[in-house]
Every structure is written in C-alpha cells, then in structure tokens.
Structure 1
C-alpha cells in the first residue's frame, strides 16, 4: 500500500489518566462521550437512555447531579451502566462528595466555583479515596467575573487563563488525574482556546463546541471545530453537543473520527448525492442501509453509487460496493472486484447480508490472529 504522508495526524503528547476502566490521553484511542438528558432521579429512564448510547458505541457518559436526589440515584445508575459515569457538578461541593462516594468515575467541576480552598481539598480527598478523575470544564458562557473585567469579553486568553487557574487549584492539593475542556459556542473562539491550552499544559483535553445547535447545524459546527483540532493532533476525548438525543451525539462523534481515520467503528458509507444518471434511488437506499446497519460494530467500508461514472473507482477502494446499472440490475463489488449482479427488489436485503457476512469474516480472522499470538 502506498505511503500517504498528507494523511498523517501526529497527536499532541499528553499525560494519560483513567476514567474508570477507560484510558484517556497518551496513546489511548480518542474516546467518544455524551450526556444524559433524563431527570437523574428517574433511574429507569436514565439507564434506558444509557443503554441506547452504549449500543451506539459510547465510551463515557456524563450524568447531571444538581441535587441530593440525583446523587442518591447515581449509585444505581453507576451499577447498571457498562461504561464509566461522569457526575456533572456545579457550585455545590457536597454533590461532588456524594457522587464520588456513589461510584462516579469522574467529577466534572470547576474547582474555583465550589468555594474555599478547604472545600476544594475535601473534593480532592473524596476523588482520591474513590479513584475518581476530575474534568475541569471551562465555558465561555460562564467565565469568572474577574476575567471578563480583565479581558472585556470571552476570548481565547481568558478561557486558557481560567483553565490554568483551575488546574493550579488541583495541583496545589497534589491532584493530577484531571482532563480539561475550554468550550465555546463560537467555533473560532473554541479552536483558538484549545490551541492555546494545548501549548500550556500536557494534560488530556476534552473537545467540544458547546451549545452547537440542532442535529444538522450542530453537527456542522462540531465537525468543523472538533475536526480541525483533531486534524492537528489536539484532543483526547470528544463530546458533540446537540439539541438531539444523546445517541445521535455518539453517532456524529464516531463519524468525525471515521472521517479523519482516527478511529473506525461500524460501516463507513461512501455514497453519491445522486443525479439523473442514477440507476436506483440512492438517497432512500442509503437511508435504509444506514438504519439497518447500525448494529454492525466491525470497521468496514461500503460504497453506494448510482451510476458507472464514479462507481467502479469508489468500489475499488471499499470492502463492498454497488453501482447502479440499467434495467434494474446493479453490479456488486467485493473487495474492489466485480462479483455479481443484484435486482432492485433484493438490493437492500442483499447488501445487509453481505455486510453482516463480511463483519463475521473479519471478526473470525481477528479472533484467529489473537489466538495464534497467545
């Protein structure tokens, strides 16, 4: 295979921390996070939502803990979750203590917002005693008054200074198991802040464009912001913030990572926008395939092209491909080589079966290699 240096992404060196059993930073894979939006005391609804996110592949899930009823429910939620839980804490340090005791793998706090140095020390002691990491979450919408007075408005320098101030509070108490985010809804502001923070510290960075918007608009903003940072090697864990269901955030997160070749999960679909040359309804076909192939976790590629203009070329680069033909008969490619035809009526079912079979084949090969290595 040819070497493609223009595709290389060199990740920024960072320290590694553990969020539960998930490594973040260092040479660990970039993780995908989301956050529940159910009332936390409603354990059943919250766990049901976590299950959907787990099926989508989430690595870490954040749960808001604004009151004692939420931290009381957290123990059951942590026990039911298959992935580490981050407790989202604002202002009230006792919620952080309760969440740590309830089994949270990480506490999302701003140390400077929870009161005196003694309270910060209490939270640090609870985190150490329970093996919790801490995520410092700086947000352009809630910067400290003193920084707004100093800089006049939220700016990259203000976000970085806020983050470094919070970091010092933890370091003063000999706590180093932390990651940091400097989020903003403005893409330029967020990217510049992360670039500045990446130069100032070696801790893992949690990427996000906060309050990004709905499914389409938020996906675009997040892809530009998070994608550009990842492209330049910045970022160890990501959360796509959408006004949509949390599992959609997970899917978009993985699509960003897949587009950059950073991490592959499931089927990467290459498809055309369709035109008058299409031999079948490309748009509806892709919609059906994406829905029916969500259960596939094995990385592979599928090309769905409506005609022979670009179809054969794209099919050569994918595991499975289909190109539209005449009279309702379409060419199927396996491993880049023409293999057989399929009729319109059977096309979607046929492709699903091929993908499932290919996934089983890849998994069997991986298992055999692992067994041989042992």
Structure 2
C-alpha cells in the first residue's frame, strides 16, 4: 500500500518519495552551540531530518535558536510531559515525536494534538517493544509483533478521532525479526508513512549488523519511508551506515562505494590501514563511483578493473588503476595521496 505524503519542514516523506535518513543528537539540547555544530556536521554527511531530545522547558525554548542556525527539519522528542510537546511546537519544531501511552490522559494528548493541528505539524506516533501496555502483553502472552501493531494502531486511532491525521508511525523493537514481522503486518493496515529502525540495536558492530539485516528485510519489501540506524556511538556513524544500507539495496545513488579485499598471506602492504583511510577520505566526496582497495597483485588488478578507480598493492608500492587500466605505479607511502588526487580531478 502506498503511503500518503507528509511534509516535515522543507522535506517530504511517503508517497513513493526517496527514503530519508534521520538521526538524533546526543548533545544537551539546552546547549545551542554544541547542538547546532553536531546537526550541521550530520547535515554535511547526508542527514535529512534531525531529532533532538526535549526533556526540559529550557530544551524546548532552545529549539527556537537552534532552528535559526540549521538547514534540515527538526523533530522534537517528547516523553511524559505534554507541556513540553506544546512548547516545542511553539518554538518551531517541524514535527514532534510522542508516545501517547506515556503522555498521560486523553485530554493531555488532545491538548498536544490541537496545537499541532493549528500549525499543521506532523506527529510521529512512536511505540517501542520496551513500553508495550500490560493488557496487550497479557493478551498476546508476551511482547509480540501483533501486540506492537495493535498498540500503534490504537494510538493512531486515538489521534485520528481527535480530528487529526498528519501522522507518521514508528514501531520499534530491539528484536530484529519481531520488528520485521511488525512492519509486514502494519503495512497492510495503514497508509501513514512509516519511520523504520531497529531500536537499541547496540554498539557500532552489533548495531550495524542488526540494523542492516532488519532494515534490509523491511525496505526490500517496499515498506518504509524514513529510516534511522540506532547506534551506541557517534550519530555521524548512523548516517554513514544508513547511506550504505540504502545504497546497497539500490534505493539511493551517490557517494563513493569502497570495496576492499579481506587480506591474506600474499598482502605486502598495510591494506587494513589503507582501506580505513580510504573509506574515511571518500566520505567527503559526492561522486557516484566505486573505488577498489586490493592487497596483492593476484586478484588486485582484476578486481580493481571492475571498479572506476582502484589501488592494488605490491611489495612496498602499489598500482593505481583507472577505468580498468593500470595508470601508474607509486610507492606505498604515496598511494593515499595519489588516490585523493584522482578523486579531486575526477571527470576532468
């Protein structure tokens, strides 16, 4: 089912539009300078929408100043206190994320909905497996995908019955397969856009693997309108991972893809160090090309020929391969610089 279009600040999601990447700041929102610096760094990397925690009234008021200094839509993340949600909207939030289950009474939810409706600010209705209502846990004999979906749809209906349907839904679980099943179930039952992510996925390694599998299984079915990779680490890592997941699934072009061999006893150069340096270096380029970093002269030249640009290591030196042809030979210490030069002058 094609979802409907929802406008978030100067961006749109849903309706078959490109899948947008989100992240969340980990600065204190009250600290405007730090928060703005992080948001702008995330924007440079390719973040489309940013969310900030709003745990205090000071944080809600800080949004006004933050908004003046950033270029992407800002989502306010609210828990428990409905007054903070209202203050966040009044201070310019482009969207708010609430869990009606922890906001309190229907009157409090309605107070938030009324202010959002007045300004046509979308509400993201978020449900997490960790906070599923007791009656649904009992009904389904534990936390299940069916319970998550019922909880989310109940909350959506609550807001729709208040006369507002400018909504985005998220149903998150740290259990990857439960999360996948929940998205499959809900996609047939609603046309609201879906914000997809595996919550509390973990550290850089485990979080990336769980997110790649979960998002891969969900997005490959045509489900999902905006994504967040949740990692216990820098939000910048979340953007890199999200871009790579979308690129790998063929859902987003742009950005350099780095392929590198796994190293073996034939490797004569510091391939691991070089590959990591190359990956860091290329993240700043907006070129839609493939760069190969190969460790030896057995598979190196052949593999690098498949790429647009490549390096293949020899003994203390390496070959630069461009458009499938050996272009030049340089000492190992100059490989990174030679690769950078080619990228800087690509297409000339």
User: Under TM normalisation by the shorter chain, which class is it?
Assistant: over 0.9
Gaps of 5+ in 2: none
Q: What is the CA–CA distance in structure 2 between the aligned matches of 1:181 and 1:330, rounded to whole Å?
A: 48
1:73-108 CA distance string (max 9 Å, x none): 111112212111100011221111111111111110
Match of 2:17 among 9, 24, 28: 28
Aligned position for 1:278:
267
Contact 1:136 1:166 in 2 (8 A): yes
**1:57-76 correspondence runs (5 A):** 57-76=46-65
Q: What is the CA–CA distance in structure 2 between the aligned matches of 1:172 and 1:312, rounded to whole Å?
A: 63
TM-score (norm 1): 0.88
Q: What is the CA–CA distance in structure 1 between the aligned matches of 2:166 and 2:301, rounded to whole Å?
A: 50
Aligned position for 1:366:
none
**1:277-356 correspondence runs (5 A):** 277-325=266-314, 327-356=315-344
What secondary structure sits across from 1:200 in the alignment? coil
Aligned position for 1:177:
166
What secondary structure sits across from 2:188 in the alignment? helix
Match of 2:157 among 168, 193, 199: 168
Query: 1:41–1:333: structure 2 CA closer, same or farther, 3 Å change rule?
Result: same
Aligned position for 2:209:
220
Gaps of 5+ in 1: 1-11, 363-374
Superposed displacement of residue 202, structure 1 = 1.8
Superposed displacement of residue 115, structure 1 = 3.2
1:226-246 CA distance string (max 9 Å, x none): 122112222111111111011
Between 1:291-300 and 1:80-89, the stretch displaced more is 291-300
**1:1-374 correspondence runs (5 A):** 13-325=2-314, 327-358=315-346, 361=347
Superposed displacement of residue 274, structure 1 = 0.9
Q: What is the CA–CA distance in structure 1 between the aligned matches of 2:325 and 2:8, rounded to whole Å?
A: 44
Query: 1:202–1:316: structure 2 CA closer, same or farther, 3 Å change rule?
Result: farther
Superposed displacement of residue 329, structure 1 = 4.1
What secondary structure sits across from 1:161 in the alignment? helix
TM-score (norm 2): 0.94
Superposed displacement of residue 195, structure 1 = 1.0
Q: C-alpha root-mean-square deviation of aligned residues, in Å?
A: 1.8
Q: What is the CA–CA distance in structure 2 between the aligned matches of 1:135 and 1:177, rounded to whole Å?
A: 9
Q: What is the CA–CA distance in structure 2 between the aligned matches of 1:311 and 1:16, rounded to whole Å?
A: 46
